[in-house]
Amino acid sequence: MSTAFISHPDCLRHDMGAGHPECPQRLAAIDDWLISHGIDAALDRHEADRVALKSLERAHSPLYVAELKAELEGLEQQAREGVPQPMKALDPDTWANAHTWGAALRAAGAAVQATDLVLDGRAENAFCAVRPPGHHATRDQAMGFCFFNNVAVAARHALDVRGLDRVAVVDFDVHHGNGTEDILAGDDRVLMVGIFQDPLYPYSGGDPKGDNMLNVPVPPYTRGAEVREMIEAIWMPALERFRPQMIFVSAGFDAHRDDDLAQLGLVEADYEWITLRIMDVARRHAKGRIVSCLEGGYDLGALARSVGVHLRTLAGI
């Protein structure tokens, strides 16, 4: 069965300014690598739909969705009126331009679309090559380059709309997925397991917000062998006990040793191993069903290679 690859040109138009690490070139680097290594032809490509506002409101407060919509559509209106490159800061690291609203809707829409493709049996698993990323977006706040929490929106869609009883969220970004934890903590239909460098932005995760949160802080300069040992000892027994019917992945590749935004030492082989362990759980308990969404990863070469390995593993090629 195929691996779905979901993206959209709108995700390239969101731009937070010159020199910002979360840049449109991230998606271009991934595409270039997939094409040059012959992987693109093996993927089932889809253009992302725009997410429905009611889907966003399963993870975010309706007030937050309405306020963000008004702010971002205001930038679109300014552009139509001839204001050159209107932008707005939502926090010191998180900027919006006139195309951010459309990109954010496509990013969350891709995650929901991927969920439906997999649950309907039209793909065994899926990867969403989208931006802006999502795992720092809390129920009512944009932060850390994120506007809507793509994985949390998709997980709630699987539970509340598609009727699943148990889903797991696996987050291997170098930064703690504080937004996903904020939204899903205490929901006993969800198990979230994550690794992240500690200390590091957003300086959270040491005190989990719910019994369904399994956070694994990792000291700076830890290398792949030690991370694998932690995953095997801590994540895997919990996932086996939980028996998820679907697995959502916050796939951040900024723990790579070449990424300057953090100080962990993972390499492509580690991402391949992590993907294989996730797939092992999915085969036993979830009919192989995985939806993976791009989060971080800011060294373009390391990002492209790591996503390539992740996708090649998901697709079995």
H or E element in which residue 167 lies:
strand 167-171
Paired with 47 in beta bridges are 7
Beta strands at 190-197 and 290-294: parallel, antiparallel or unpaired = unpaired
Q: Is the dihedral of CA 256, 111, 52, 28 positive or negative?
A: positive
Any idea what DSSP says for residue 52? P
H or E element in which residue 156 lies:
helix 150-156
Q: Which long-range contacts (CB under 8 A, 24 or more apart) does 87-92 make?
A: 87/16, 87/17, 90/142, 90/143, 90/147, 91/142, 91/143, 91/144
H or E element in which residue 280 lies:
helix 268-285
Taking the C-alpha atoms of residue 267 and residue 98, their distance in angstroms, rounded to an integer, is 36
Asked about 60 being catalytic, the answer comes back as no
Taking the C-alpha atoms of residue 181 and residue 138, their distance in angstroms, rounded to an integer, is 8
Give me the catalytic one of 46, 99, 136, 157.
136
Q: Which residues are catalytic?
A: 136
